[in-house]
Amino acid sequence: MSTANEQVVVGFFKAFDRLDLEEALSYLTEDCVHDDKPVGIHRGKEEIRRFFAPQMKDLKSFRAELKETLSVGNMVMNERVDWIELQGGKKAALPVMGAFEIRAGKIAVWRDYYDMGSFHKQISES
């Protein structure tokens, strides 16, 4: 059984699975902080949009395979594999640990932990 906060995170990733950036952004607060540990911090929905829009154009497909989810209070954490296929056929299966703080039914803080080197190695070999 999942909590309402967990369902917010699930809905967020389902939008990304459809490559629908605007729908994914609708799950975020206006002042959301996206802390992409290998890349940096993006503050606010508009900055997050500017970060992801070019990446979304490079994607042929994306699927977040949610392995495990844990929630306590307003915190939701998940272990997942992001299955990424770029235009041109390069592919990667990226293990990610995500932490999400939910406020009023939306994601207010989103932190992702992963190995960027693994991603680059996979896409260079495929």
What is this structure's pTM? 0.93
Give the domain ranges of the chain: 4-125
In sequence order, what DSSP letters do the residues of 55-68 get, joined into one string?
A: HHHHEEEEEEEEEE
Q: Does domain 4-125 have CATH number 3.40.1260.10?
A: no
pLDDT score recorded for residue 1: 53
Cα angle 48-14-100, degrees, rounded to a multiple of 5 = 55
Angstrom distance (rounded) from CA 124 to CA 29: 35
Tens-place pLDDT, residues 59-96: 999 999 999 999 999 999 999 999 999 999 999 999 99
Are 96 and 86 contacting, i.e. CB atoms less than 8 angstroms apart?
A: no
pLDDT score recorded for residue 2: 80
